[in-house]
C-alpha cells in the first residue's frame, strides 16, 4: 500500500487522537497533491465542531445573561425559547459531532481501499 494512501487515511483517522494538528502538519509538509487534498478536507471536517462550539459559547452567554428573567418566567409558567436553547444546542452539537466522526472514518476507509 502506498504511503500517500496511509497518510491520507491517517489525516481522517486523526479525529480520534489529534484532530487539528495532524492535518495541518501533513498539509504543509507533503508535496503530493492528493494527500494535500485529503488533509485539507479532513481539516475542514475537524474545524466544523470547533466553529459550532464557538457559536454555542455565544449562545450560552446570551442564555446566561437572561437567566434571571428566565427563572422568574419559569416560576410563573411562562417558558420561552431561551429556556430550551442550551439543551437544543447540546443535542445538535452531539449529532453533528457523531456525524463528523462517522464521515471521517468512512472517508479514511474509502481512501485505504
pLDDT score recorded for residue 111:
93
Helix (H, G, I), strand (E, B) or coil at 30: coil
Which carries the bigger pLDDT value, residue 32 or residue 66?
32
Angstrom distances, CA of residue 71 to CA of 35, 51, 61, 76, 104: 52, 29, 16, 9, 41
pLDDT digits (tens, 9 = 90+) for 60-104: 777 666 656 555 555 665 666 666 777 788 888 999 999 999 999
Q: Number of folded domains in the chain? A: 1
Longest Cα–Cα distance of the chain, Å, equals: 66
pLDDT, residue 41, reads 93
At 42-71, the pLDDT tens digits run 999 999 888 988 888 887 777 666 656 555
- Structural domain of 35: 3-112
Q: How far apart are CA 78 and CA 103, in angstroms?
A: 41
Say what the pTM is.
Answer: 0.77
Amino acid at each position: 500500500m502506498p504511503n500517500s494512501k496511509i497518510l491520507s487515511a491517517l489525516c481522517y483517522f486523526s479525529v480520534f487522537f489529534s484532530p487539528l494538528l495532524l492535518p495541518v502538519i501533513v498539509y504543509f509538509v507533503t508535496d503530493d497533491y492528493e494527500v494535500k487534498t485529503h488533509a485539507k478536507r479532513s481539516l475542514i471536517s475537524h474545524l466544523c465542531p470547533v466553529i459550532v462550539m464557538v457559536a454555542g459559547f455565544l449562545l450560552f452567554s446570551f442564555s446566561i445573561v437572561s437567566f434571571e428573567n428566565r427563572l422568574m418566567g419559569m416560576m410563573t409558567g411562562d417558558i420561552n425559547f431561551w429556556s430550551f436553547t442550551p439543551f437544543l444546542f447540546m443535542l445538535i452539537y452531539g449529532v453533528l459531532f457523531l456525524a463528523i466522526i462517522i464521515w471521517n472514518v468512512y472517508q479514511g476507509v474509502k481512501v485505504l481501499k
